[in-house]
Amino acid sequence: MENHETQISKPKSRLIFLSTDHKTIGILYGFTGLLFLLLGFSIMMLMRWQLAFPGQPIPFIGSWFGQDRAPGGIMLPEFYNQLGAMHGTIMVFLGVVPIVVGAFGNYLVPLQIGAPDMAFPKLNLMSYWLYVLGGLCALSSFFMPGGAAQSGWTSYPPLADIATTGQTFWLIAIIFLALSSMLNSINIITTIVQLRAKGMTFMRLPFFVWAQFITGFLLLLAFPALEAASVLQLMDRLAGTSFFLPSGLVVSGQPLSVSGGGSPLLWQHLFWFLAHPEVYVLILPAMGIVAEILANNTRKPLWGYRSMVYATIFLGFMSFIVWAHHMFLTGMGTIISGFFQATTMIISIPSVVILLALLISLWGGSIRFTTPMLFALAFLPMFGIGGLTGLPLGLTISDIPLHDTYYVIGHFHYIVAPGTVFAIFGGIYYWFPKLTGRKMNDVLGRIHFAGSLVFMNGVFFPMFILGLAGVSRRLWDGGAQYQFAQHVLHWHEFMSISAWLLAVFQIPFIVNLFWSIRKGKKVRENYWDATTLEWAASSPPPHGNFFPLPEVYRSPYEYSVPGYAEDFLPQNQFFGEGLKIKEKG
């Protein structure tokens, strides 16, 4: 802290890549993450060509990939698997998590709690650069002999243990990314505990900050499991150990010369011990963003703020004891599967509590359909579909026909794509005026919204149809081999065209983003008439954020307070004793 106060007076570093200011780092995270999101999306669009038109040469760009990936423009199954594994890895570890935690968390948490910066600014910079390093490592694997990792983003051994060099790079990338996330989470937790402004009690924290707080604990406690597992898999690949390799393996007709005695399931347990909490890392900050936008655009307090906070804490705790529901079909007995089914059903309740609280918050509001609000509103039913379709997957008996089919892909994409990604878009439109002092164009924003909503559903909804018909995921030809899949295969074309049109509707967003930075309409500091502290800072906030540091007098969402002239009462606004009596009443 003291260190900071001396820094604040210094002129800002010209090198933004070395800045320790949380806002600069947040923006760097944001742009890097958006780039990866675009890359992951592009990879998916390539795969969708192969799925819609199996074995046909990729038009226009087919010759770019070379003979060992797509001879004659026709995607090889190996290359398809590389794209599949990297799509998942990029979207989860390099796209969405860095955006929701690295960008939104970094930029907004100190502002919303009234702090001058993060608790550990240098650690913050280090976590960004570890992320970049991890990203480069993952990308460079495409140029290794044999190509990138191709055992899925889940990297199950023995397949991953015996895969080509790309897998080694994947593991090293994960180790960097895990480190980066852990450093970031320590920073966010410490900042929230230590640097809250005077009067900012825990129950006065904006819900977004609560979401980041719990997310921080999830990252901190879950990532070590994957980090350790990645080191073990690396040892299996490089040092001849057999942590995940049982005895008696025969690969391509040859006995594998390893000591054996390991367990492939050990990896699955360690992986999902991270990867299930990771799901909540993807969704909790998104819920936080949606909550902020909803409260502001309904002009009323969030309904059931306390129950939302308790639900989030409970959700965070429960997310550590549901992981094996990803492994129901690994030969699990009744008692263990019963336990994990029960925890899975239990964890659905706090999710329902949060979703219902957000829905009920709309009741009695004076709803403004601003661009960010459209995304936040669409989040509710879309996340609803994602959450509800988790139900049949969480029950062992109905998981049997659906496990590892397109149904699963539809389920989790509804949570992260029209769910989290919509929250990200909404958040960008909402906080853009704070970042730049300008607003984004609403016409372009609305085009972006409408197209994204329609075509996201066009991509993901048919997946339920394919899944219920029994079509496995991760098939190079999308299931064209199988008799039972024939009557649903035409949906692949529909999904692919939707995906490409979805890409077209991202163009207005990209144009809008860059155009508005320079040419967007200038707006005042508290453009949305919001109550939380970030709107008390100037736009963009200077290094050090607040001069002087704000003091907090009330809950985060005091909109339409009876007896107050304006329809919003900022957290830092001093407003006599009279109000306190009213607050109690």
Residues 275-304 that bind other proteins (CB under 8 A): 298-301, 303-304
CA pair distance 17, 81, nearest whole angstrom: 34
Other C-beta atoms lying within 10 Å of the C-beta of residue 573 = 18
Out of 62, 73, 224, 381, name the contact with other proteins by CB under 8 A: 381
| Site for other proteins contains 476 (CB under 8 A) | yes
Binding-site member from 348, 452, 545, 571 for other proteins (CB under 8 A): 348
Q: By rule CB under 8 A, what count of residues binds other proteins?
A: 100
| 52, 252, 382, 475 from 480: Cα distances, Å | 10, 25, 29, 9
> Cβ closer to other proteins: 197 or 469?
469
145 binds other proteins (CB under 8 A): no
Q: Does 133 bind other proteins (CB under 8 A)?
A: no
CB of 250 to other proteins, least distance (A): 5
The residue behind tokens 């909503």 is 453
The residues, any chain, with a CB within 8 Å of residue 358's CB and separated by 6 or more, are: 287, 290, 291, 294, 302, 380
Q: Is 264 in the site for other proteins (CB under 8 A)?
A: yes
Which of 142, 314, 482, 575 is close enough to bind other proteins by CB under 8 A?
A: 482
Instruction: Kindly tell me which of 156 and 515 has the beta carbon lying closer to other proteins.
Output: 156
Question: Hey, what are 127's tokens?
Answer: 């976590």
Name the residue nearer to other proteins (CB basis): 394 or 427: 394
Phi, psi (degrees; rounded to nearest 5) at 563: 90, 0
Residues 84-103 that bind other proteins (CB under 8 A): 84
| Cβ distance to other proteins smaller for residue 9 or 334 | 334
- Give the residue with the Cβ less far from other proteins, 141 or 341: 341
Of residues 221 through 250, those in contact with other proteins by CB under 8 A are 246-250
Compute the distance between CA of residue 528 and CA of residue 387 in angstroms, rounded to an integer. Answer: 30
The count of residues in the chain is 585
Q: Rule CB under 8 A: choose which of 6, 9, 67, 334 binds other proteins.
A: 334
Question: Least separation, in Å, of the C-beta of 167 and other proteins?
Answer: 12
Q: What angle do CA 38, 40, 41 make, to 5 degrees?
A: 60
Question: Is the bond leading into 59 cis (omega within 30 degrees of zero)?
Answer: no
Residues whose CB is less than 8 angstroms from the CB of residue 336 and which lie 6 or more positions away in sequence, other chains included: 324
| Closest CB 395 distance from other proteins, rounded Å | 4
Which tokens in the block code for residue 485? Answer: 């899949």
HSE at residue 81, side-chain half, CA atoms within 13 A, is: 18
Among 42, 241, 472, 506, binds other proteins (CB under 8 A): 472
Q: What residues numbered 60-79 form the site for other proteins, per CB under 8 A?
A: 76-78
Residues between 502 and 561 that touch other proteins (CB under 8 A):
559-561
Of 326, 415, 416, residue with least CA distance to 40: 416
Is the C-alpha dihedral spanning 93, 99, 101, 103 positive or negative? positive
| Residues 554, 403: Cα–Cα separation, whole Å | 48
Distance CA 156, CA 233 (A): 10
Binding characters for other proteins, 172-211, by CB under 8 A (x = yes): ----------------------------------------
Residues 418, 411 contacting (CB under 8 angstroms):
no
Q: Which amino acid is at 7?
A: Q
Verify binding: residue 403, other proteins, rule CB under 8 A: yes
Q: Is residue 55 close enough to count as binding other proteins by CB under 8 A?
A: no
Instruction: For the beta carbon of residue 5, count every other beta carbon within 10 angstroms.
Output: 10
Query: Using the rule CB under 8 A, which residue among 331, 548, 574, 576 binds other proteins?
Result: 331
Residue closer to other proteins (CB basis): 3 or 56: 56
By CB under 8 A, tell whether 395 contacts other proteins. yes
* Tokens coding 141: 């694997």
Q: What is the CA radius of gyration of the chain?
A: 24
Asked if residue 150 binds other proteins (CB under 8 A), the reply is yes
CB of 17 to other proteins, least distance (A): 38
Is 251 or 507 the residue whose CB approaches other proteins more closely?
Answer: 251
For residues 333 and 576, which CB has a smaller minimum distance to other proteins in the complex?
A: 333
Near other proteins in 152-171, by CB under 8 A: 152, 156-159, 162
- From CA 383, how far away is CA 376, in angstroms rounded? 10
Closer residue to other proteins, CB minimum distance, 216 or 462: 462
Cα separation of 418 and 352, whole Å?
18
Segment interacting with other proteins, rule: CB under 8 A, options 35-43, 390-398, 507-515, 522-530: 390-398
Q: How far is the CB of 13 from other proteins (least distance, A)?
A: 44
Of 282, 286, 279, the closest CA to residue 319 belongs to 279
Ramachandran bin of 213, using left for φ above 0, alpha for ψ from -120 to 50, beta for the remaining angles: alpha
- Least Å distance, CB 158 to other proteins, is 5
Q: Which stretch binds other proteins (CB under 8 A): 90-98, 128-136, 194-202, 341-349?
A: 341-349
Residues between 350 and 369 that touch other proteins (CB under 8 A)? 352-353, 356-357, 359-369
